[in-house]
Structures are given as structure tokens and as C-alpha cells.
Chains A and B, each alone.
Chain A
Amino acid sequence: MNAVQRTAPLSVLLGAIVSGRGAIISAAAIAFSGIGKGERLWLALGVGVAAVVIGAGIAFVKWRRLTYTVGEADIRVESGVLSRTARSVPYERIQDVSLEAKLLPRLFGLVAVKFETGAGGADDLALQYLTAAQGEALRRLVRERRDEEQAAPTSADPAAPGAADDAEDSKVLYALTPGRLVTFGLFEFSLAIFAVLGGMLQYVDNVTAIDVWNVDLWRRWLGEQGSTVAHLGPYVQVAAALAGLAVLVIIGVATGVVRTVVRDWGFALTHSPRGFRRQRGLLTRSDVVMPAHRVQGLVIGTGLLRYRFGWHGLSFVSLAQDAESESHVVAPFAKMDEIGPIAAAAGFRLPDAATPWHRASERHRTVTTARDAAPFVALTIAAAIFAPFGLFLVPLGLAVIAVGANLYAWEFRRHAIDAAQVYASHGFLSPTQEIATRLKLHSVEIAQGPVARWGGYATVHLGLAGGHFAMHGVPINEARALRAAVLTTISATDYSRLDAPLGKGESQALSAAQPGFSANLRAT
């Protein structure tokens, strides 16, 4: 399979459609404007057709000039119309292969294949578009080649038997039912629709004669409405304000539900000996595969409200990433007892009663509280002196809230280290937990500002590939001991041995010789 190949010919058609779609707006603008009088409809049509033809031409040339070769050791892509680029990615450096089908390509049965190497974003290799079957075959091939390479030196690939057909071996770890999805959406309150409306207003402004940025227009309109409201009396005004707020909340929640359903429809996480596979999306369907041994850490996030109902979200930290976030979301909305098995499958252990949590330093709490409340206190003093009586209560209330929130946040600010993993937890009104393997850390930094030095605490930054890991407000002696402990583990194993694939029932910590591993994981 060393032949030079091209992407699917249908990509040309897709390029033409996309280009035509881009021209619709300008064509419409011409059709509704005064240009060219009677013939303006023809002019608009001409612009549209020209866009489609030019788009098709460019897409065709690009398609002709882009070839890829699936070689013995790497994938090569040669592209470029005038200046040619040849890029080669060795199999062993490919973190994962994701298939993404946006709505339009999906209608034609096409997918975009992305090879994630950790280079990030635009630097990653992508082939748009292949047919769905081609994409699937290519992904399988990459995985096989990669595992062969890794198996060669060690000659004992634990995943080898029966792994060629992983469809049979895989089991669904987590899936979002439509009911759960809607519940999830209720917590994803979003006012993004107003940004969209703002954009549309701008567009209306460009196309029509209504000048939406004209303040007088709005003032006049508000004045008309306002005088009506003023006649109604205070109770009705309050009721109207509350109704307005309620409408805002309803719109926000509805937007959240719609966005969530579109993004996470049919969310399924499956696990096989080769790793994890995540599929999601209603319009844009994406299909991502991640080998378990590439997972560097876990992030368990939650939200202000959903935390009160026991809902959490799990993400994998790795060199590959989702479009909008640093990590791969693998369980966006789950109870803790559902997250446990997923973490275990990735070789991690969730903190439990035996985890030796340590609190952040109390001085750290005092300092952050004072720091956050100080501006409000200053405002309160200023308001008490200069503003009309009573107004100072507003910043005073905010100051009290700041103090309360900080005292509460201290409840979540904890860190722990055990034989195999490090844990950190932080957050204002709900906790975010980070878990990483001691072995897969790359550096340890103890950072102290002037206040922290006075307070005898420090921030411990741990170098994590593909993510950040920090413990805040750690008493300095603890921080030093922690660093010493982590460094002993790190120094025992060289970087080149980190990426060995996990065996069955093996944990992240065991993928190299690691003394002092507790037996808890075997029980899971």
C-alpha cells in the first residue's frame, strides 16, 4: 500500500458548493441594492455562478496537487499548487487519528481525517476529504503500523492477540441518552444567542437602511415604550422587570439545550484493548480514537449548579486536543460512580477515603480573601464618603460576598500525593480535580511571590504534557517534600520508556517499574 493516493474526487464538488455558499451573501446584496438597475438579478446570478466555477477550479487544482502516501514507517502528504510542501509524519508520533464529518461532507459520505501529533491546531496533518470507508481503513492501518513499531523492540505487545478486530472486543463505557442530554443542556446556560443576534443586527445594518448603531433611534424607541411603562406604576414595573429576567433565563437555558444537543448528540465512549474511541455530534459528527497509554492526566470538572446535583465532567489530558479545549472530553455529564470505571480503564485511580488530602495553608486563604475583598472595601469607603447615603451598602455587600466565596473556596483547595499519583483540587464555588501520574511529570517548580514567602507557602507547578497541573497554597516544607518524592519517581524512568502501551489490567503507574504501588487498583 505504498502507492501515491489522492483524496476523494467528491471533495472538488464540495469545494464548489462551499465557494457558492460564500457568494450567496454578496449575490443577495447585489440583488437588493441599486447596482445595475434592471439587470441586477442577472448580475447577482452571474456573481453566484462565477463563484461556483472559480471555487470548483481552485478545488480541482488543489485536489490534483495533493497526494498522500501511506509508507512503511510514515504517512507523507505532498500539497501546494505553486509552492510544494511535503510533510512526513512517523506512525509512532501520531497521538490519535480523528475522523470529523461536518454536515455538508456528511451528506456526501465524506470525512476529514486528522492525524494528531501534539504539534497542535494548524500544524497537525489533515486530509480533507476521504470517503468514510477510506478514512476508517486508513485509521485502522495507522493503528496497526504504530503498534507494530512499538511491539518490535519489546516483542511483547499485550494488545496483540485478537486486537486486529477491535469491534468485537470493545465495550461501551459511557453513552449519553437523549434524556440525559437534555438534562445536561439545562445546566449549560448560555447567552451566546445574543452575540449571534448582535452579528445579525450588524448585517441588517449593512444591507438595509436601518442604522442600528444610531443611538437616537433606540432612545426614541425606548422613550415611546418607557412612557407607556411609566404610566403603569411601580408594581407592574417590577413585575415587568422580573418577566424580562425570566425571559432571559428561558432563552439562555433553551440556547444551552440546543447547543448541547447539537454538539453531543449520540455521545458514546467505547473502550477496547487498543484504547478509547469517542463519537459525538448531531450535525458535525466526530470520531476520535485515543490510545490509553497516551493519557497524561485526568481533569474532573463540574459547574456551580450541576455540582449540587452530583454531576461532573471528565476530560483526558493528552498531547492531542479538542477544537475548543485543552483536553479531550470523554464524559461531559456523569455521576462520580460512572467516572470511576472510565478512569480505571485509562489506568488512573480516583481519590477515595484513603487519599491523603492536605489542605492549602491558612495564610494563603487569608491572603487571597484579603486580596479579593480589598477593591470592594476601598469602594465602600469611597462611597461612604462621597456618594449619597446608603449607596455604600452595594460594594460592602460585594466585599462580604468576596470574603464568603474565598472562605468557601478554601474548602476545595487541596492536594495529595500517593504512591503512584498526584492530586489537586481547586475552584471557587465548585471543585475541579486534577489527577496525574507521578511518572508522567516532566518538571517540578516551586514558585513564591513576596507575599507567599512571607506566608510560608508556595505554588507547586508540575510539568504535564498537554496540560497544566498546579497545587496552590502548599506550605513550603510540604512543597519541598512533595518535589523530592515526585523527582525520585521521575528520575527512575527515562522519557523514551513513558509511552509503552498499557497491558491488560495494568495501570499508568505500572507501565514502568514503580515501587510502592498500592493494590487498590487491581480490585477495580
Chain B
Amino acid sequence: MDHAPALTSASPPPEDEGALTKLHPNYAHALRVRTTVTAIPVLIAALVVELVLRKEALLPPGVIAGPVLLIAVLLILRIPARRYGARGYQMGADRLRVVRGLLFRSDTVVPFGRVQHIDVQQGPLERFFGIATLTLHTAGNHNASVALPGLGEELAREMRETIRSHIRRETM
């Protein structure tokens, strides 16, 4: 096997490896609310099991609901902040880089020249917190749509305009 000179010798342009821009701080709050909402059914289920078992008087009270509550609180306090910390983006002159994932990290770059269309979405929760999700659609099967949640509402629209103007200029 002939090993060619390593690709690493060419130092990558700083644009792809530079510091990431943080998302809107409200995104962490929105994540926290969402985690809480997901945790509620689990908590209710734990309470139901607890009540059923209490009638049987098999286990000391709180042995099931207690740990579940503890784990849920830990998750609600810890995970949204860490996920917020793991996410970030970088707006280059001709490309957008989106980084996400705590355990499974993904680092995607979409060149503006390959964007098919652009969405700015807001769910009810996002509207309340004044943030929005910017989604870029490409023609590739993988990463057919790259979503960047947690942008300030104004910023998301601004970014959309920037990317759009870029596409139009190149097409003409």
C-alpha cells in the first residue's frame, strides 16, 4: 500500500476551524422547557407505579418515584446547558457551518452555492422565546436539510437574506 503524502500537510483555511458563534441564550431555556415537558409523562408513569405498589405494600414508599424524580431533575438542570454549549455555528463568506451533538458530534458545512431553498421556522415555544430555526435544503441525499435552531428571530431572517442574496448573485 503506497501511502501518499498525508493530507494533513495542507493547513486548512481558518474559516472552517475558527471559533464558533454561540446560539441565542434563550435557546438553552427553550431546551429546558422541552426537556421538562418530555419528562412529565415519565414522572406520571413512575407515580402511578408507585401508587399501585403502595397498595401491595411490597416496597418502602418513594423507592421508584424518588430516583426517577432525581434523574429527571438532573437531566433538566444539566443536559440543556450542555447541549447548548455543544451547539454553534459559523457564518463564512460563502458557507455556513453547523456544529451539534453531545455524544455524537456532527460538524456540517453547506456552501451557499448549493442551497436549494431556505426555511425560517418558529414553533409556539420558539415564538415565546423569540428564537427561530433556520433550515437550509440541499440537493444531496445526505443532509438534504440542515437545521440550525436557536437563532434570534431577527438574526435568522437576516441570515436568510444574506444567503439568498448570495445565491441570486451567483446565478446571474
Task: Evaluate contact between A481 and B12: CB separation under 8 angstroms.
Answer: yes
Choose the segment among B20-28, B124-132, B136-144 that binds chain A (4+ C-beta atoms closer than 8 Å): B136-144
Q: Does A447 contact B (CB under 8 A)?
A: yes
> Footprint of A on B, CB under 8 Å?
1-8, 10, 12-13, 16-17, 94-95, 103-116, 138-144, 146, 167, 170-171
Count residues on chain A whose CB falls below 8 Å from chain B CBs: 45
In whole angstroms, how far apart are the Cα atoms of A416 and B107 in the complex?
A: 20
Task: Evaluate contact between B114 and A467: CB separation under 8 angstroms.
Answer: no
Q: Which of B2, B16, B115 has the most CB of A within 10 A?
A: B16
Q: Which of B1, B17, B114, B171 contacts A463 (CB 8 A)?
A: B114
In whole angstroms, how far apart are the Cα atoms of A465 and B3 in the complex?
A: 30
In whole angstroms, how far apart are the Cα atoms of A477 and B106 in the complex?
A: 15
* Chain B residues positioned under 8 Å from A358 (CB to CB): 3-4, 6-7
Answer whether A417 and B7 are a contact pair too, CB < 8 Å, given A357-B1, A484-B12.
yes
Q: Which of B3, B7, B109 contacts A487 (CB 8 A)?
A: B109
Given contacts A445-B142, A463-B140, 6 further A-B contacts (CB under 8 A): A357-B4, A442-B139, A443-B110, A447-B105, A478-B7, A495-B114
Interface residues of A in 36-93 (CB under 8 A from B): none
* Chain A residues positioned under 8 Å from B6 (CB to CB): 358, 478
Answer whether A480 and B16 are a contact pair too, CB < 8 Å, given A358-B7, A445-B108.
yes
Answer whether A481 and B104 are a contact pair too, CB < 8 Å, given A443-B146, A463-B114, A495-B116.
no
Q: Which of A446, A470, A491 contacts B106 (CB 8 A)?
A: A446
* Chain A residues positioned under 8 Å from B106 (CB to CB): 445-448
Main secondary structure of the interface of B (DSSP, over half): mixed
Q: Which of A357, A444, A488 contacts B108 (CB 8 A)?
A: A444
In whole angstroms, how far apart are the Cα atoms of A469 and B140 in the complex?
A: 10
Answer whether A447 and B104 are a contact pair too, CB < 8 Å, given A463-B114, A487-B111.
yes
* Chain B residues positioned under 8 Å from A357 (CB to CB): 1-2, 4
Task: Evaluate contact between B138 and A463: CB separation under 8 angstroms.
Answer: yes
Task: Evaluate contact between B12 and A443: CB separation under 8 angstroms.
Answer: no
* Chain A residues positioned under 8 Å from B139 (CB to CB): 319, 442, 463, 465, 495
* Chain A residues positioned under 8 Å from B104 (CB to CB): 447-450
Task: Evaluate contact between B7 and A469: CB separation under 8 angstroms.
Answer: no
Q: Which residue of A lies closest to B5 (CB)?
A: A356
* Chain A residues positioned under 8 Å from B1 (CB to CB): 357, 359
* Chain A residues positioned under 8 Å from B111 (CB to CB): 443, 487, 490-491
Task: Evaluate contact between A359 and B3: CB separation under 8 angstroms.
Answer: yes
Q: Does A175 contact B (CB under 8 A)?
A: no
In whole angstroms, how far apart are the Cα atoms of A484 and B4 in the complex?
A: 18
In whole angstroms, how far apart are the Cα atoms of A493 and B142 in the complex?
A: 20
A-B contact pairs, 7 of them (CB 8 A): A359-B3, A445-B142, A446-B107, A450-B103, A469-B142, A475-B8, A483-B109
In whole angstroms, how far apart are the Cα atoms of A462 and B138 in the complex?
A: 12
